[in-house]
């Protein structure tokens, strides 16, 4: 018998409901590992970083935190943000710091219906909503370039600059990623989203790279759509989409819209991938810290558990990932649902149901 494989995972619950949903995902993965008969195990290390840590230390994470994280096979993240810390400080101090330092340039956000969950879009055909939003995760509107107080004329006359950065290399790698992904899906189609009629430099470059890369994938359908038109298409013609690739900000907004159309932001899973595997990738629910329900045991853990399934895929445990997804489906289909999707169950009840359905 070969030696058991141990996957070292850094857990960063961070803020608000992050603690509850990371605990939920861990419980499901540990139950799964138990049932593997020792073939593989998860070795968890939890880090206390986030807004509470910031209040005590003035930092969102340890100074050598990135160095520490480098030694892990993956990072399992909760949510960042709390009212006591400005949102741009907490986001840049933790989530974006990790994504950008570990060159996690591909943010993969699947969007689909869940059985038993009512969606504002619900059509008879369950495949009407089955997309993957691919978010460029390293540059674009999140390049962090710009400044404040540029006029030098003081309060009331302030000028601030926020610059987007689009590199040909950055555009090409995410667009190729989207095409490669489309080839693995029932519908081979990539929809590219920009606002290149108004953003006449970076997003025109994106469109040009998209057209060039598309020539290498003659078997994949393509379209280029402006982000405003795509928002309408999400609602009116969801059945026409498969892989949607967009810049950092546009894809963030579109994937929130997509999750809401699926029934709730609480359902949405995501993977921040370093596709070259030079650095650890990070798996997290799309949702934020939800301070209004934090600590009440009401958070929907499905997005975090789905993110754990994406982590299993990343580890090469595809059958186990499929088991977790099936267990999620059985749970929602059986009506064990949290409040955001019309149910009465608490986080723990959903977790218990998912674990029961793993069997």
For Cα atoms 133, 134, 136, give the angle at the middle one, nearest 5 degrees: 140
> Is 195 among the residues known to form the active site?
yes
> Is 256 among the residues known to form the active site?
yes
At 78 the three-state DSSP class reads: strand
252 lies in the site for ligand GGG, by CB under 6 A: yes
**Least distance CB 221 / ligand GGG (angstroms):** 29
288 lies in the site for ligand GGG, by CB under 6 A: yes
**Least distance CB 259 / ligand GGG (angstroms):** 11
**Least distance CB 249 / ligand GGG (angstroms):** 8
CA distances for 102 relative to 99, 251, 275, 277, angstroms: 6, 20, 10, 10
> Is 73 among the residues known to form the active site?
no
Print the binding letters for residues 185-224 with ligand GGG: x by CB under 6 A, - otherwise. ----------------------------------------
**Least distance CB 90 / ligand GGG (angstroms):** 8
Please list, in sequence order, all residues whose beta carbon lies within 8 angstroms of the beta carbon of residue 7, skipping any fewer than 6 positions away: 40, 41, 42, 43, 73, 74, 315
Tell which positions 32-91 bind ligand GGG, by CB under 6 A: 79-81, 91
Helix (H) / strand (E) element for 311: namely helix 302-314
Q: Which residue among 284, 312, 317, 337 contacts ligand GGG (CB under 6 A)?
A: 284
Number of residues that bind ligand GGG (CB under 6 A): 10
Considering the complex, state which of residue 74 and residue 121 has its C-beta at the smaller distance from ligand GGG.
Answer: 74
Helix, strand and coil in the chain, % to nearest 5? 40, 20, 35
Catalytic choice (15, 73, 130, 256)? 256
In a 13 Å sphere around the CA of 92, the CA atoms on its Cβ side amount to 9
Catalytic choice (228, 313, 340, 348)? 228
Helix (H) / strand (E) element for 227: namely helix 227-236
Please list, in sequence order, all residues whose beta carbon lies within 8 angstroms of the beta carbon of residue 219, skipping any fewer than 6 positions away: 183, 188
Question: Longest Cα pair distance anywhere in the chain, in angstroms?
Answer: 73
> Is 252 among the residues known to form the active site?
yes
> Is 142 among the residues known to form the active site?
yes
Active-site residues, by number, are 142, 195, 228, 252, 256
Give the binding site for ligand GGG (CB under 6 A): 79-81, 91, 95, 252, 284-285, 287-288
């Amino acid at each position: 018998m070969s030696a058991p494989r141990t996957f070292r995972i850094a857990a960063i619950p961070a803020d608000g409901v992050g603690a509850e949903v990371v605990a939920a995902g861990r419980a499901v993965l540990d139950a799964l590992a138990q049932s593997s008969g020792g073939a593989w195990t998860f070795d968890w290390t939890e880090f206390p970083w986030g807004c509470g840590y910031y209040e005590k230390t003035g930092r969102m994470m340890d100074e050598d935190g990135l160095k520490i994280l480098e030694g892990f096979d993956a990072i399992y993240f909760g949510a960042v943000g709390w009212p006591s810390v400005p949102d741009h400080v907490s986001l840049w101090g933790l989530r974006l710091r990790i994504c950008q330092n570990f060159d996690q340039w591909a943010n993969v956000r699947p969007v689909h219906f869940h059985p038993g969950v009512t969606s504002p879009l619900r059509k008879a055909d369950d495949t009407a909503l089955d997309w993957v939003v691919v978010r460029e995760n390293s540059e674009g509107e999140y390049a962090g370039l710009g400044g404040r107080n540029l006029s030098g004329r003081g309060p009331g006359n302030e000028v601030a600059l926020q610059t987007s950065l689009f590199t040909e290399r950055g555009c090409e790698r995410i667009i190729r990623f989207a095409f490669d992904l489309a080839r693995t899906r029932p519908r081979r189609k990539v929809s590219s989203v920009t606002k290149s009629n108004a953003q006449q430099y970076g997003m025109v470059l994106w469109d040009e790279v998209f057209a060039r890369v598309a020539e290498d994938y003659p078997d994949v359908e393509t379209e280029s759509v402006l982000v405003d038109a795509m928002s309408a298409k999400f609602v009116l013609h969801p059945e026409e989409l498969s892989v949607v690739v967009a810049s950092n900000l546009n894809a963030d907004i579109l994937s929130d819209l997509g999750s809401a159309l699926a029934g709730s932001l609480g359902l949405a899973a995501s993977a921040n991938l370093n596709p070259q595997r030079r650095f650890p990738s990070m798996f997290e629910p799309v949702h934020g810290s939800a301070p209004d329900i934090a600590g009440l045991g009401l958070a929907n853990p499905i997005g975090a558990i789905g993110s754990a399934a994406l982590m299993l895929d990343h580890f090469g445990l595809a059958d186990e990932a499929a088991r977790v997804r099936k267990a999620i489906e059985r749970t929602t289909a059986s009506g064990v649902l949290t409040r955001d999707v019309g149910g009465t169950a608490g986080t723990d009840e959903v977790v218990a149901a998912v674990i029961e359905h793993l069997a």
